Structure 1
Amino acid sequence: MPVSRRSFLGGGLAAAAVAVTGTPLLAGCASDKKNTAAANAAVKLPTYVKYGEVKPDLPGTDVVLDGFLKYPASPVKAITDVPGDGKPITFMTNIPGAIPPAADKNQFWQEVNKRLGSELQISMASNDEYKDKFATRIAGGDLPDILNIPTDTPQIPGLVKSKCMDLTEHLSGDAAKKYPFLANIPTEYWKGCVFNGAIYGVPVPRGMSRTSLPLYRTDLLAAKGITDPAPKNFQEFFDLCKEMTSAKDNRWAWTRVPLSYLRMMLGLPNNWKEDGGKFTSMYEADANTEALEAARKLVAAGVVNPDAFNDKASARKQWFNGGIAAFDYDSFVAWNQYYNDNTAGPAFGVNMLDVPGFAGGQGKPWMGAALNNVTSFNKDSKHSAETLLKIANWMAAPFGTEEYLFRKYGVAGRHYTLQGTDPVPTKVGTVETGIGLQYISDSTLALYWAGKPDVPQKQHAIQAKIADRLVYDASYGLYSDTSSKKSAQLVKSMNDLENQIVQGKKPVSDWAAGVKTFLSSGGEKIRGELQDAFATAGGK
């Protein structure tokens, strides 16, 4: 199945929300009219040249990811040149885990600097704190050489035009072949890096790896005699949830209300739907009332952890790992992270549910967010664009290469041990390697878990099952200024209303008024801007 222009979800409803930082992020960064859909559509994107030196055990497609049962015994040394220019390079990023030891106490970081041929100076912040730090640095004009720009940053076109390098001449068309691992990133991902009629960054790709469905603890379900859960409709799903709940034993089926999953059962749009040039928000779909009623039913039946409405994502992950909850709605990235954080011992196992139709048949899963972030380069950097692109290219060397093995796992003996040909991280490795290199650039995710070939097999199988049914967000690659400024607050208001309804604090009938407010407060204007952008781009 060829992937269309609007193939990848621009983040789902939660991730598509625009950050509200409270900081005047773009003072002096106003974009001009050059940021038109026509100018962006005219940009020749990097030529895609798939790297063929590493052969997967489980071949993917343009949607399904490649899978590997073990790490290749003789990793390919893919890059011979040192990419750096000998001078320090600064980078600012978020970090999903704990802040690692500083460079002078971190042997992995020291080895990175040696291999790059430049000292990489990284300013880090936690996921929760990064957007505020980012906004403060932008407002103060204090920019690093390499900048991790979240996709939900307000008014990105003005920001990159004012502050970042135009990389079009270096990356457009066949020019990208000079950087073979950037060229190895499929074309669709680059659409999220085009603003003002130019390429202003390098993508950090996600797509299928961010597709989310219910993850479940295979060991907990097996203890109940359930080895292959495959509910055929909502009622069977509801019964399964009840079976996996025992409040008196401090066990619940769910970490949170799986409202997105219920919407997929009902075939709702993925954020924005386009039909004949007209755009419709997911919120407008009539079946929302049925999804909300079903969610209320789950909450009323007590199958959702009662703390779900108060605690953060980190707490939900602890419930799943600790066996307090059997199901969590999350992605393939999270699937691997759960194995990394496993506290339950060798019996621990994870798999993913397919999505049935609400009343039978097949549901429609939503494709995951195309990009984690856009990586741009400070236009005032003393480093050349070529040097910074070589650094990004090094960071994007794919699975099976020696560069990937080092970048993800570190140095053998200290940061990992070999189990056969598989690198198994040590405690030191887990602590020292988490310095955020994956947010400079990265290859598309490979399905793999060291020493557990059943993990990529399960992941590949569910991806193959859902690939032809994936629903894409029609707004990806189309810029709406109103969405950039207002989506965060609009989505927050709708999320708040959803939470009130599913907890029984407001009636489902309040949803219609909420949708009217969403549309009058900016949703209608976003629709118009998306439709104009779509038409101007020739419906591509």
Structure 2
Amino acid sequence: MLEAKFQDLTPYLSGDAVLEYPNLAALKPESWRTAVVNGKIWGAPIPSTPFGQVMVGSHATWEKVGGLNATDAEEFFDKLKQLSDPGKKQYALEPAYVNVLHMITEWLGAPNSWAVNEDRTLTHLYETDQYTAGLEYAAKLFAAGVFYPDVNVTNIKAKIANGSIGAMVTSGPRDVGTFRALDPNLEIDILVPFSFDGTITPTYDMGYGTVGFTAFKKTDEKRIKEQLALVNWLSAPFGTTEYLQKNFGTEGKDFTFDADGNPILTEEGLKNVPGVQSALNIMSAPERVNFNPGFPRDTKYTHETEIKLLEFAWRNPTNGTFSDTNAKVGPKITKIVRDKTIDIITGRAKVSEHADVLKRWKAEGGDKMREEYQAQLDPQAPVFKLQPIK
């Protein structure tokens, strides 16, 4: 598809040619990973924080049960039960079952998608005892009634703010600042992965460091350069006039500066800016920074939490490599597993049925994906040792 429909940007963005677009040139090598396919540059990167998903909740809600933390899964289950009261329409967890399961498998010490074995072969998360144990625990949570009952709920952050939902899974630690738009006095806590049984060392899945890239359809050179100039502007780094305008709008209308020089969105800005900012940043963006204007507590707390997460963080060892099979059938066979996963968690299927759907996943592309990733595996990728579960 790229070869047939989109512009090869290698002549414009490789070597010294990229210096014509200094904001793009300033992006880290890691941010270009998804934009490079078969040795060619196909678009402008969209950098993101390299930190992966975390569970967050209101400090006011969780302090009732000793905080958003636990020494093991049993203690966490007790806290979830205490925070759930259907009669008062209060529930401990959002109904994003797959995201919650992701958190659980981290407590069980599961790999970040793929584990590198001693013999340099790969084992997928779906094939591990950790995934099966996570299914069992998630099903236990559902049976206990701790999930919000409406899977179509859309205003989860608002329900976190008002206490009707205790916790949700967000894209990363730095998302805590987004809750301030709902309530400037709302303090959000981040759950640091804990040991499922008191003996297992938990894991934390790092993200990719980029959410993709913006490709240009084939056209004349003048138009390509115009578009590159546009994404170069959109990639202006933190601290620049362009960054301020894109992310905060017009001074006096959308934002004002506080006594410390921080741009603070006005009431009108809170209506006008976030949607436009989000749309622009999904086309192209600079390297992300940890910045919460007017709320230094959020910045400091997030930074301190990220340091803790790095102590047991793992990257997906296949990052930066390409599987043709994954591109063709990966989403399809993943959906097959996830549909069964949701059925198991919600009690419509038994945990034992995961074995059958796993066989189908492997036969319809999983094993082929493994072979393709193994052929390109970074020789420096660390071995991941799966830990026994009590």
CA distance in 1, matches of 2:302, 2:223: 40
Contact 1:207 1:367 in 2 (8 A): no
Q: Does 1:239 align with 2:78?
A: yes
Report what 1:98 is aligned to.
none
Distance 1:189 1:463, change over 3 A: same
Q: Does 1:526 align with 2:369?
A: yes
Q: Aligned partner of 2:62: which letter? A: L
Report what 2:102 is aligned to.
260
Which of these residues, 243, 248, 251, is aligned with residue 87 of structure 2?
248
Q: CA deviation at 1:217?
A: 0.5
Give % identity: 29
Q: CA deviation at 1:225?
A: 6.2
CA distance in 2, matches of 1:233, 1:388: 52
CA distance in 2, matches of 1:539, 1:379: 37
CA distance in 1, matches of 2:218, 2:91: 52
Contact 2:179 2:186 in 1 (8 A): no
Which of these residues, 429, 433, 442, is aligned with residue 285 of structure 2?
442
Q: Aligned partner of 2:159: which letter? A: W
Which of these residues, 290, 303, 307, is aligned with residue 133 of structure 2?
290
Contact 2:35 2:212 in 1 (8 A): no
CA distance in 1, matches of 2:280, 2:185: 32
Q: CA deviation at 1:251?
A: 0.8
Q: Aligned partner of 1:367: which letter? A: M
Q: CA deviation at 1:374?
A: 0.8
Q: Does 1:353 align with 2:173?
A: no
Q: Aligned partner of 2:328: which letter? A: K
Which of these residues, 37, 45, 59, is aligned with residue 203 of structure 1?
45
Q: CA deviation at 1:407?
A: 0.9
Alignment of 1:125-136 (within 5 A): none
Distance 1:287 1:225, change over 3 A: closer
CA distance in 1, matches of 2:15, 2:379: 20
CA distance in 2, matches of 1:184, 1:351: 33
Contact 1:409 1:429 in 2 (8 A): yes
Q: CA deviation at 1:539?
A: 7.2
Q: Aligned partner of 2:135: which letter? A: L
CA distance in 2, matches of 1:322, 1:229: 16
CA distance in 2, matches of 1:199, 1:266: 38
Q: CA deviation at 1:444?
A: 2.1
Contact 1:265 1:364 in 2 (8 A): yes
Report what 1:328 is aligned to.
168
The structure carrying a bigger helix percent of its residues is 2
Q: Secondary structure at the match of 1:216?
A: strand
Q: CA deviation at 1:519?
A: 0.6
Unaligned runs of 5+ in 1: 1-158
Q: Aligned partner of 1:166: which letter? A: D
CA distance in 1, matches of 2:249, 2:73: 45
Higher relative contact order (CA 8 A, sep 6+): 1
CA distance in 1, matches of 2:7, 2:241: 30
Report what 1:400 is aligned to.
239
CA distance in 2, matches of 1:431, 1:163: 37
Distance 1:417 1:372, change over 3 A: same
Q: Structure 1 stretch 179-188 or stretch 253-262: which is displaced more? A: 179-188
Contact 1:161 1:196 in 2 (8 A): no
Distance 1:165 1:399, change over 3 A: same
CA distance in 1, matches of 2:379, 2:218: 32
Which of these residues, 325, 341, 345, is aligned with residue 502 of structure 1?
345
Q: Aligned partner of 1:179: which letter? A: Y
Q: Deviations over 1:217-242 (max 9, x none)?
A: 012223x263x443121112212212
How does the TM-score come out when normalised to structure 2?
0.88
Q: Does 1:161 align with 2:3?
A: yes
Q: Does 1:216 align with 2:216?
A: no
CA distance in 2, matches of 1:381, 1:407: 28
Q: Deviations over 1:171-213 (max 9, x none)?
A: 224443443322322111212111132111111011425x111
Q: Deviations over 1:275-321 (max 9, x none)?
A: 344222110112222111111121122211122xx315x24334323
Which of these residues, 367, 371, 375, is aligned with residue 214 of structure 2?
375
Q: Secondary structure at the match of 1:269?
A: coil
Distance 1:410 1:401, change over 3 A: same
Q: Deviations over 1:356-384 (max 9, x none)?
A: 12112541011124322311222214635
Q: Secondary structure at the match of 2:111?
A: coil
Q: Aligned partner of 2:54: which letter? A: L
How does the TM-score come out when normalised to structure 1?
0.65
Q: CA deviation at 1:339?
A: 2.3
Distance 1:383 1:360, change over 3 A: farther
CA distance in 1, matches of 2:334, 2:203: 22
CA distance in 2, matches of 1:397, 1:197: 26
Alignment of 1:45-444 (within 5 A): 159-209=1-51, 211-222=52-63, 224=64, 226=66, 228-256=67-95, 257=97, 258-275=100-117, 276-307=119-150, 310-312=151-153, 314-332=154-172, 334-340=175-181, 342=182, 345-360=183-198, 362-381=201-220, 383-420=222-259, 421-433=261-273, 434-435=275-276, 436-444=279-287
Distance 1:317 1:494, change over 3 A: farther
Contact 1:214 1:261 in 2 (8 A): yes
CA distance in 2, matches of 1:245, 1:498: 23
Q: CA deviation at 1:488?
A: 1.8
CA distance in 1, matches of 2:135, 2:315: 22
Contact 1:255 1:320 in 2 (8 A): no
Contact 1:272 1:282 in 2 (8 A): yes
Q: CA deviation at 1:440?
A: 2.6
Contact 1:213 1:352 in 2 (8 A): yes
How many residues align? The count is: 371
